[in-house]
Chain A
Amino acid sequence: MTTDVVSPPARQRTRRRAGGLLPAPGWGYLMIAPAFVGLVAFYVWPFLTTFGKSFMDVPAFGPGTFTGVDNYTELLGDARFWQALRNSALYTAILLLGVPVAIVLAALIEQVGRGRALYRVLFFLPVVTLPVAISMVWRFIYNGDFGLLNYVLSLVGVPGQYWVADATFTIYAVGVVGIWMSLGINLIILGAGLQGIPQDLYEASALDGAGRVRQFFRITLPLLSPSVFLVTVLTVISALQMFDLIFVMLRSVNNTALADSKTIVYLFYEKAFVEFDQGYGAAIAIVLLMVIMAATLLQFRLQRRWVFYD
């Protein structure tokens, strides 16, 4: 409409702009300058620093010396590192068990009209509660002497355990909390996916006599698979980085179970910022990056077999 009144050359220019981008190098550089400076200073440079330090022996004070792959060979021979890797992998596997739970609950929430908002708020509550606070509450519930869980179990005749003080159970106990904490996020992402499924598919299949269970497996699950994939990828990435649950639930002066329950990031924190062995810490962080990349890459490979894109 506006183009009607402008001269032909101007119209041409306008059309080029309509293609999307305004050539304005000055403004462009000016506007990304803060982001560029910040990202280089706080992300790109630290990344390179960590990478460099992983090949160095860095004392608490003063410059480090280049030691090649010493940190990595030491890491590979370190039983505590393998233990931490196993713990993180186990924790991640447990959290993945929460994904089917989230799928079922998301589908059920989508089915109800009244009360849907209330359910979403209740399930989301742990997401907006301080993880540190959550850890403290669960630590109390898990207490071996007077915790609520042991009491409830005793009512049905199951013997109580020291859930966060016995390394046999710690990762499982923490994993349950992890599922409980992340359920709300998964429900929101899956809920958004469910809303994108065309309703007429359900109506048509209902006419054909399909029940809700059949609809769930034949329509909901395949069409939801991209969202399920997203949830799975995000779950694995964040589970491999778990730190604060262990830090708060297990750390106390006399909890010997902590030694066998450390995750990769906990080990990294301890090495780099408590013992100030930054070279070794950096090597742990680089290995973490490789583990996360490998896990994500594997999932993208596997998605072809089960994720359904239309």
Chain B
Amino acid sequence: MTDQILRSRRTDRAATGSKASRHGEWVIHLVLAAAALVMVAPFVWQLLTIFKSNREASQMPPTLLPDDPTTGAFATFFGSVPFWAQLTVSVSALVLRVIGQLTVSALAGYAFARLRFPGRRLLFGLFIAMLMVPSQLFLIGQFEIIRDFELLDTIPALAIPGMFSAFGIFLMRQAFMSIPAGFEEAARLDGAGPLRTFWYVMLPMARPTMAALAVLTSLYSWNDLLWPLIVTPRGDKRPITVGLAGLQGQFGTDYPTLMAGALVASLPLIIIFLVLQRQFFSGIASSGLKG
């Protein structure tokens, strides 16, 4: 809608033949393109470096295009890093965390939004208070629980704490609160119990919010470094982030290999983003990103 308004505003201006505004449009594109170039330049440099030899990548002055393009960096990377194992860990932890997060948040969000029970406000307040505490404060205690349940170096260890988030509950509660009560009533008059109403009527209507929450949770899960670093002391069951951070110690200044690893590890989420742009944007817009 805003697009239309903006477009019509522009045609109005074009109709009056104002040279200044058309000139202004060009300046805007110029500024944005320059900024976009700065945003993209590191990625371009990364891509170009991958296809250089290590010697070429570390010479001064640098070459722009690879003299003798080679895919050796990928070969070195895949040959020395258990990438597929790490990818499996990252993906499994992500799927587990997203499913858990959606289930827990949707159930609790619905109860807080639609059901009345003693202590409801108090409990909700307790959850929301946790939103304000930086995540590092929980790490020591979370680590101890994972250790005491003998879950260190397992995929559940990576996924479980992140399933429970006050933010997710809050987001789902907002979604359920915005659904008109009439839908629920109609279902109940047709004889559906709370669980059936929740499952068949309310949940489908909250799907956009669930998609946004799923996307945000995936983003946190995929990107997280500190928690996986802490709960994978033995070293197997390490996700991509930890593996990639370790790559640096192994390859020091072999930048083509490092850049190849960085690209391969980032690509899955970038592809998902390009497919699900709208969910990413609405997720961020509805929340602000809290890591």
Contacts and interface: CB of A to CB of B under 8 A. Distances in A.
Interface of A: 2, 6, 14, 17-18, 20-25, 27-29, 31-32, 34-36, 38-39, 41-50, 53, 105, 108-113, 115, 117, 119-134, 136-141, 143, 145-146, 148, 150-151, 154, 180, 183, 185, 188-189, 191-192, 195, 199, 202-203, 212, 230-231, 234, 237-238, 240-241, 243-244, 247-248, 251-253, 265, 268-269, 272-273, 278, 281-282, 285-286, 288-289, 292-293, 296
A-B CB proximity, top 4 nearest: A46-B141, A38-B164, A28-B117, A133-B262
Nearest to B11: A113
B85 interface: no
Interface stretch (B35-43, B71-79, B203-211): B35-43
B65 interface: no
A228 to B, nearest CB: 12
Interface of B: 2-3, 5-7, 9-10, 24-25, 28-29, 31-32, 35-36, 38-40, 42-43, 45-46, 49, 57-62, 103-105, 107-108, 110-112, 114-118, 120, 123, 126-127, 130, 132-145, 160-161, 163-164, 166, 169, 181-182, 184-186, 188-189, 194-195, 198, 219, 222-223, 225-226, 229-230, 240-241, 244-245, 247-249, 252-253, 255, 258-259, 261-263, 265-266, 269-270, 272-274, 277, 280-281, 284-285, 288-291
Contacts of A36: 108, 123
A150 B258 CA distance: 20
Contacts of A269: 136, 226, 229
A46 B59 contact: no
Given A43-B130, A120-B281, A289-B133, 16 more contacts: A21-B114, A22-B116, A24-B194, A28-B115, A34-B164, A46-B138, A46-B144, A111-B6, A112-B25, A113-B7, A140-B258, A180-B42, A188-B285, A247-B245, A252-B249, A273-B230
Contacts of A203: 9
A46 B178 CA distance: 33
Contact of A230 (B223, B259, B288, B291): B288
A141 B36 contact: no
13 contacts: A18-B185, A24-B194, A28-B116, A34-B107, A34-B164, A42-B142, A46-B140, A47-B138, A49-B141, A129-B266, A137-B259, A195-B2, A273-B143
Given A24-B115, A113-B10, A121 B277 contact: yes
A125 B39 contact: yes
A277 to B, nearest CB: 11
A122 B40 contact: yes
Contacts of A44: 126, 130
Contacts of B105: 35
A307 to B, nearest CB: 15
Contacts of A195: 2
A32 B112 contact: yes
A84 B160 CA distance: 31
The A contact surface, by secondary structure, is: helix
Contacts, number: 322
Nearest to A104: B31
B137 A285 contact: yes
B9 A112 contact: no
B265 to A, nearest CB: 6
Contact of B285 (A17, A192, A273): A192
A183 B40 CA distance: 13
Contacts of B259: 136-137, 140
B290 A238 contact: yes
Contacts of A129: 43, 266, 269-270
Nearest to A121: B277
A151 B60 CA distance: 8
Contacts of A134: 42, 262
A189 B9 CA distance: 24
A50 B185 contact: no
A35 B138 contact: no
B2 A108 contact: no
A192 B287 CA distance: 11
A199 B10 CA distance: 12
B203 to A, nearest CB: 12
A86 to B, nearest CB: 18
Given A136-B248, A238-B291, A130 B137 contact: no
Contacts of B225: 131-132, 243-244, 247-248
Nearest to A115: B29
A130 B223 contact: yes
B255 to A, nearest CB: 5
Contacts of B166: 39, 43
Contact of A212 (B24, B43, B133, B241): B24
B119 to A, nearest CB: 9
A199 B9 contact: yes
A272 B140 contact: yes
Contact of A38 (B111, B163, B181): B163
Contact of B108 (A32, A111, A230, A296): A32
Contact of A46 (B45, B120, B142): B142
Nearest to A182: B289
